[in-house]
Structure 1
C-alpha cells in the first residue's frame, strides 16, 4: 500500500544524488535551459568573440572621440608666395625681416627604400640646400635585415654627390622590441651625422621623413627671411599611394629649425606650436612596385597594423591602391565624430596635377604611376 502523498514519477532527476551517471546529471543540468538560449551561447558567443577579434580595432577607432582629446591647436601662419613677388615683399607679408644673405640649409633624412620619392625630394630642394644628410641602416625599425638601398643606387643621385654626407648605422636586432626604440636609436645616430656634416648655429635644418617633401619656395623663403621662429612645423598636403588621392592637409610632423649646437635634436614629433600653411607634400606609400608596399608594411614602426597575413596579398594591395582604400582596413584616426564620419570610405579621386613637385612633372614618363589615372603598380 502506497503511503499518502506519494506520487509515482519517472523523472530521472529525482533522488539521483551522486548515483547517476554523468550523462544523466548533464541532462538534469540542461533541462531548465531553453534550446534557443543554448544555441545563442554555443554559437553567438564564439561569433561575438571572433567579430571582436576581426573588427575590435575599428570599434576602438570609431569611439576614439570619446576616449581621446584632440591635441592643442597650432598657431597657423598664413603662407604667401608668387614667383613675381620679391623676396623682401614676401618676408614682410609674413611679418619677418629680410636678410642680406641667405642661411645655409641642411636636409637630413633617415632612409628606408623610397628611391623615387628621394629623387623627387632632392631635385625639388637642390637649388637651396647646402648639404644633403642621409643615414640608412641594415635594419628596419622592426628588426628585419634589409639591403642598403641607397648605397646600391648611389649613382642615381650623382647630381647631389658634391653636397652629400652619407652614413650607415648597424641595426641592433633586439627580438620582440618595440619598433619605436630602434627608430629612436637611428635618429640619435642621424644627430651625430648632422654634426659631422658641418652644421653651425643659425643654419636651417629640415627634419622630415623622406616622403615629407617641403616645397622649394618654402625653403627659399625661410633661408632668406629674418626673425622666423626657431622651430617651425610645416603643414603638408597629405597624399596616399600617389598624387591622385589627396587625403587632407593635416600632415604636420615635418619641421625646419634654426640650429643651436647642444640644443637642437633630430626628432619626428611636435616641437613647436607654430605651423606654416601649405608648405609641401606628404606622399605616403607612394611606391612603384607592389613588393615595396609589402616591405614597408612589415618594416615600419606601425607594422603591428598587419593583423592578418592576407593583408600582404599582392592582389589585395593592388585593389586597395586603385580604390584609395586603407591597406590595414583601419578607420580614420580623427578626434571628432564629424571628421571621422566625413572620412569613412575610400579617398575620392583627384584629377588635379597642379602645383606638384617640379621634378615629377618634368619626368612624367618615369613617374607616371604617381599621377592621376595610373593606379596599376608593377610587380617586380
Structure 2
C-alpha cells in the first residue's frame, strides 16, 4: 500500500442535470423520477436530507452561519476532488464504516498509521496488515497509506507534541504523495472517530461561493451510537481547500484544527493574503453534519485505546489497573459512565440514518454492538 506518487483523476462530468430550461437539479439530492413525472416544474423533488430549489443543500446547511451564502452559491461544472485525511490506531470498524459511507464523494482516503502509539510505545500496524489481507479490497485504489516510522523526541515529554505531530506528518508527507493537486480540491481532516455526512461533502464539492475554513457540528456519542453526549454536538474545524491549507498553513494539517491560527496569519500577512478567510460551520443539534463516536470499541478495543493514549490529554486512565479491567469496562458501557464514574450521556434508540451512518444501519447485525447496548441486553438475558 505504499504509494510514492498517486495521480488524482479529474472528472469532467457535472453533478447536475437539466430537467427543463428553467430547472436544474443536483443529481445526488434529487428524486429524478418524481421530479420528472410528478414535479411542478419550478423546483426539484428532494431526497431525504436535502432541500432547496435544486435539491443541492444538505439539511445541516439550514443551521449554518452566514445565511446569505445561499444567494452567492454557484454550481460547478465539475465537482471538486475530496481528500479525507485521518490518523488511525485500532479504529478499523469505524474506518470501514467511513469508507463505505463516503467512497462515492471522497476521491482519496489519506490514512496515516504509525508503529508507535501516541504515548511512544511500539505497536503493530493493524490497518496495514488488514489491507494486505484484503480488508476493503473494493476501495484500496482510493486509499493512500502513509507510514510514520518514528516517534518525535519531544513527544516523550509533551503528549500534545506527539499528538500534533501525527497530523503534521499526515498533511506534509501525505500530500507530497499526491500529484496533480488543484487549489480548489478539498482537504477534510478528521479524527478516526469523526465521520462526516456524505451529503455535506457532496454539497461542498458541487458548489463554489462559500467561505472557509469550515467547521462541522457532529452528534457526539460514547461507546456506541446508543449513548449520546448531553452536549449533543461537538464543533470540529475540519475542511479547507488545498489553496488555504498550502498558503495559510504550509500543509501543516494540525493548524487547520487550531482556532487562533487565522488571526495569527492575518496579523503577519499585512492583509495581502490571496485567500478568503471567513470561518463558518455547518450543522446544529437538530441537523448535524456527521457523527463523533468516542471510545466506540469492544471492551478489548477500549483496552488498546487506554494503552495508546497520549500523556497530556487529561487523566490517562490506562495508568490505573482497575480502569483497565474488562469487567469494569463492560460496566461503563452498560451504564453509560465515564472513567471517573460520572454520567454525561443519555440513551439513544437508533432508528434512522440521522442516528448512525447508513452503512452501519444497513449492516445492523454485524454492527449490532455499536447500535444496541450489548451489556444491557446481556444483563437482561441473565435474568431470564
Q: Same fold (TM over 0.5)?
A: yes
Matched residues in 2 for 1:367 and 1:254: separation? Answer: 28
Gaps of 5+ in 1: 1-79, 332-344
What residue in structure 1 maps to residue 297 of structure 2?
287
Q: Give 1:263's aligned residue.
A: 248
Partner SS, residue 348 of structure 1: strand
Pick from 176, 184, 190: which aligns with 1:195? 176
Q: What SS class does the counterpart of residue 219 from structure 1 fall into?
A: helix
Pair 1:202–1:295, CA change in 2 (3 A): same
For residues 186 and 104 of structure 1, what CA distance do their matches in structure 2 show?
23
SS of the residue corresponding to residue 248 of structure 2 reads: coil
1:230 aligns with 2:241: no
Query: How do 1:56-75 and structure 2 match up within 5 A?
Result: none
Query: How far apart, CA to CA, are the structure 2 residues paired with 1:87 and 1:186?
Result: 42
Offset, 1:180: 1.4
Which segments of 5 or more consecutive residues in structure 2 lack a partner in the other structure? 1-45, 63-68, 263-277, 379-384
Contact 1:101 1:224 in 2 (8 A): yes
**Aligned residue in 2 for 1:347:** 345
Which residues of 2 match residues 94-173 of structure 1 at below 5 A? 95=70, 96-154=73-131, 155-172=134-151
| Greater alpha carbon shift after TM alignment, 187-196 vs 319-328 | 187-196
**1:360 partner SS:** helix
Residue deviations 1:92-145, cap 9 Å, x none?
976122212110000111111100000001111100111111110001111111
- Shifted more, 272-281 versus 144-153: the winner is 272-281
Shift of residue 283 of structure 1?
0.4
CA deviations on 1:179-217 (whole Å, 9 max, x unpaired) are: 211122222211121232233211011111011000111
Whole-angstrom CA distance in 1 between matches of 2:152 and 2:49: 49
Measure how far apart 1:377 and its partner are. Answer: 11
Q: Does 1:322 align with 2:320?
A: no
Residues in 1 aligned to 2:47 and 2:375: alpha-carbon distance in whole angstroms: 32
> How far has the Cα of 1:294 moved from its partner?
1.3
Give the conservation status (yes or no) of the 8 Å contact 1:136–1:150: yes
Of the three residues 220, 227, 230, the one matched with 2:202 is: 220
SS in 1 for 2:182: coil
Count of equivalent residues:
284
Larger Rg: 1
Residues of 2 paired with 1:346 and 1:135: CA distance? 31
Give how far 1:150 is off: 0.5
Residue pair 1:243, 1:353 contacting (<8 A) in 2 also: no
Q: 1:276 aligns with which of 282, 293, 297?
A: 282
Q: 1:256, 1:81 → 2: CA distance?
A: 25
**Mean alpha-carbon deviation: is it higher for 262-271 or for 184-193?**
262-271
Determine if contact 2:105/2:198 at 8 Å carries over to the other structure.
yes
User: In structure 2, how many angstroms separate the alpha carbons of the residues matched to 1:346 and 1:185?
Assistant: 30
Q: 1:145 to 1:202 in 2, by over 3 A?
A: same
Map Cα deviations across residues 315-367 of structure 1 (whole Å, 9 max, x no partner). Answer: 111101110000244x6xxxxxxxxxxxxx35221113312211101211211
Q: Secondary structure of 1:151's partner? A: helix
2: distance between equivalents of 1:226 and 1:202? 9
Structure 1 residue 88 displacement after superposition: 3.6
Report which of the two has the higher share of strand.
Answer: 2
Change (3 A) 1:254 1:212: farther
SS of the residue 2:225 aligns to:
coil
